[in-house]
Structure 1
Amino acid sequence: MNHFRRFAAEGVGTALLLAVVVGSGIMGERLSDGNDAIALLGNTIATGAALVVLIHIFSPVSGAHFNPAVTMMALLRRELPGSTAAVHVVAQFLGAIAGVWLAHAMFAEPLLQVSTKLRDGPSQGLSEFVATFGLIGTILGTARSRPAFVPVAVGLYITAAYWFTASTSFANPAVTVARSLSDTFAGIAPSSAPLFIAAQLTGALAAVLFFGWLFKEEPST
């Protein structure tokens, strides 16, 4: 597959995903009259639904990773060469930042922002580890049993993980960096981002190791 097409798919797909995450957060906050639960519910439904659609659209071109942790999984499993993985990751970070700016523009917010929303502490790191571990497990397990169901499974898992994790399940280093550039409902302070990213990458690595062992085909005797 042409690297330019992969770059376009990962970049545009990730941009649209972040536009949904941040835009629905802004809309939810504006319409909820201060009720954070209602705002989060709107944010959750929009994100889960968009993931299903975006993965269906872009997966034939790039696999629709939209997430450096997912690309790392593919690299560790030797499903992508290093050069292709690098194209994906660069496109994901650039696309994520562009998506945040797009959401700001649509809601007449200042384009350039820095979040002040602290998300600190061991519970937040553990939440991101669990969220990313579960995401990678969802992809690997569903791809093994029902490949066509992966987009729906990912959307459903992220919808659930918004609510069962204390961090609201970022589970994505590119999303984390981009959301640090939005001082809105979906934001995260830059000082909180390193913990999230470290936990996400560790969770992804743990999932690759665990599910690789769990699903390993036994040699026939």
Structure 2
Amino acid sequence: MSMIARRALAEFVGTAFLLMAVVGSGVMASRLSPDDAGLQLLQNSLATGAALVALIVALQPVSAAFNPVVTLAERALGMVGTRTATALVSAQVLGALAGTAAANLMFGLDAVTVSTRERTGPGLWLGEAIATAGLLVVIFGTLRSGKADRVALAVGGYITAAYWFTSSTSFANPAVTIARTVTDTFAGITPASVPPFILAQLLGGAAGYALVRLLYPLPATSAVVTADRKVPA
């Protein structure tokens, strides 16, 4: 199997399990705590953050972005080529959809059900931009500080917190956003709500990329070597 194929497979598997954690824990939380939205969010955020830590640790030696915005930032930083980035983003979206379908089936639901949970408004869009910008700073700031072995804890901790401090509960990921349209559960989002969410994520990603370049002005070759040796993607 080629390196690109291995990376794409890792992204597919990792993103699928991430969505199983997001959607599955949302369903479980709704069933265990049907009258307490705050407790539901706590359960959902803890499960998602813990799953992210585990998945990044396990798949980091191959590829562990699980997020098209992260992969696009890697492309902009020269860490991956266009062909590789295209393969990884495709795998992330397909993996997210597969993971959502699997989560639905695990809980006795139809594999695909279009969500009716509307999430819209300037506050939520701003929350998505901020969540995504912060995520990129956390990931690439940790990498450029020479602490690639701590990325998993940094990302898991950040996403768990961002569930609570952002109005949108921090989707911060176009693949996750698309996949959550096919589950009419606690984690769902209506298809009509998706375009502005993704636009906000891309704008936040651009802001995060700019911050990384300003805060960590390492020579490009040094950044690439560090990334390629420790967190290939």
TM-score band w.r.t. shorter chain? over 0.9
Aligned counterparts, 1:37-52, within 5 A: 37-52=38-53
C-alpha displacement of 1:217: 4.1
CA displacement at 1:144 relative to structure 2? 2.0
Q: Given residue 215 of structure 1, which amino acid in structure 2 is its aligned partner?
A: Y
Q: CA deviation at 1:6?
A: 1.1
Give secondary structure in 2 for the equivalent of 1:126: helix
- The normalised TM-score by structure 2 is 0.91
Q: Give the secondary-structure state (helix, strand or coil) at the position aligned to 1:180.
A: helix
Q: Give distance in 1, aligned partners of 2:34 and 2:193.
A: 27
Find the counterpart in structure 2 of residue 81 from structure 1. 81
Cα-Cα RMSD: 1.0
Three-state SS of the structure 2 residue aligned to 1:60 is coil
Whether 1:22 and 2:23 are equivalent positions in the alignment is yes
2-side partners of 1:71 and 1:53: how far apart? Answer: 19
Aligned to 1:113: 113
Could you say what secondary structure the match of 1:171 adopts? Answer: coil
Residues 97-121 of structure 1 show CA distances to partners (whole Å, capped at 9, x for unaligned) of: 0000000111001112001111111
Aligned runs of 1:1-221 on 2, under 5 Å?
2-62=3-63, 64-145=64-145, 146-217=147-218
Deviations 1:58-95 (CA, angstroms, capped at 9, x unpaired): 11112x00000000110000100000000100000000
**Secondary structure class of the residue paired with 1:50:** helix
Give the Cα–Cα distance (whole angstroms) in 1 for the partners of residues 218 and 71 of structure 2: 23
* Number of residue pairs matched by the alignment: 217
Gaps of 5+ in 1: none
- Cα distance in 2 for residues equivalent to 1:173 and 1:39: 23
- Measured in 1, the distance between the counterparts of 2:191 and 2:34 equals 27
- Residue 143 of structure 1, CA deviation: 1.2
Secondary structure at the residue paired with 2:57?
A: helix
SS state at 2:112 partner: coil
Amino acid at match of 2:97: I
Give the letter aligned to residue 78 of structure 1.
G
Q: Please tell me whether the aligned partners of residues 144 and 218 of structure 2 are also in contact (alpha carbons under 8 angstroms).
A: no
Shift of 1:33: 2.6
CA distance in 2, matches of 1:172, 1:85: 15
Residue by residue, what CA displacement relative to the aligned partner does 1:113-164 show, whole Å, maximum 9, x if unpaired?
0011111110011000000000000001111222211100000000000000
Of all paired residues, the percent bearing the same amino acid is 52
Q: Letter of the 2:60 partner, please give it.
A: S
Q: Is the Cα contact below 8 Å between 2:15 and 2:99 reproduced in 1?
A: yes
Distance 1:8 1:85 in 2: 13
Aligned residue type for 1:77: L
Residue 153 of structure 1 aligns with an amino acid whose one-letter code is A
Give the TM-score normalised by the residue count of structure 1: 0.96
